[in-house]
Amino acid sequence: MDFAIADKYLYVTQRSGGTCYLSRLLMEGNDATYVDEMTVTNTGHCQTLDMYTYNGVNYFYFSSKADPSTNYYWSLQVARLQYAAGATVDYTDLRRFTYLNYANKTGSRFGETYRVDGGGNSTHTFFRVQTAEGTVTWSIYDTVALNQLLDNNQMVQMDSAGAVNAALTSFTQSGSSIIRPNGSFQGADLLGSTEIYTSGGAEGNTPQIAYISNTGVYKSLVSITNVGNHEIEGVQTKNGNVYFTIVTDPVNKKDTQKVYYVPDSVFNNSRSCDLFKDF
């Protein structure tokens, strides 16, 4: 699953096979109450969910194109989605980015796509592409330039001239240099154009979030010490805080997942810390 926090609403994804259910919940105090949902079919793992504004309209970057040959239905593309309560759409109905194994500064191929995630904000967009060969490539683009391409194309290939022109930076990690807290990737977000936050940890691990630069330099690691050794899901930067979800009951996930945050200032140095709030 993943989540996105807007002004009034919390959006969350849940997966069944390759189908993703995107729910909208109204936030009131420390509670978030279900309002409605939409369904996207054949879209994959549902780990990409990040809200941004383009031309005055709120969109999500969203997982796209499930790979049914993998156990987790990893997504191979990233789409642009506008929330529509009650709607059911297929990933092929969405405008989307393709050929993500070319998503780097030069638009050159760097392997066979295995798993794709992405997100960002209204000025900058990131993609994280894991290849079958085992490498991980991060890339950062101009959000407006990418979305202008989507306005005019149902599918935007990342090796196209327009996509390459929108690329700002990229870096590739391999082997032990891949930054994965607790050895797993559970979500990522981009603050501005320079700060990447990535979370990791399964049931039994102390949840962790790493901060890396837009050139791949490891900056710090924060361990969340007072939520138990539970799975962490997603990560989102907003208003000076870094939000994340903890799955407190892995057997009965319904109504047991909580969103917490810590101030982004705790990432100035590696440390362990207590959370500040949940809802």
230-247: per-residue pLDDT in tens? 999 999 999 999 999 998
CB 195 within 8 A of CB 211: yes
CB 238 within 8 A of CB 262: no
pLDDT at residue 278 greater than cutoff 60: no
> Per residue in 124-146, is it b (16+ CB within 10 Å) or e — as a string?
bbbbbbbbeeebbbbbbbbbeeb
Count of positions (residues) in the chain: 279
Q: What confidence tens digit (pLDDT) does each residue in 160-174 have? A: 999 999 999 999 999
Conformation bin of residue 204: beta by default, left when phi > 0, alpha when psi is -120 to 50: left
For the segment 169-194, the average pLDDT, to the nearest whole number, is: 97
What percentage of the chain has pLDDT greater than the value 70?
A: 96
* Distance between CA atoms of residues 75 and 93, nearest Å: 16
pLDDT band of residue 271 (cuts 50, 70, 90) is low
Instruction: Tell me the pTM.
Output: 0.95
Return the ∠ at Cα 128 (arms to 95 and 5), rounded to 5°: 70
CB neighbours of residue 114 within 10 Å: 18
What is the structure's pLDDT at 248?
87
The one-letter amino acid code at 137 reads T
For the segment 110-134, the average pLDDT, to the nearest whole number, is: 98
**C-alpha closest to that of 46 among 67, 74, 26:** 74
| φ/ψ (deg, to 5) at 181 | -55, 135
pLDDT at residue 102 greater than cutoff 80: yes
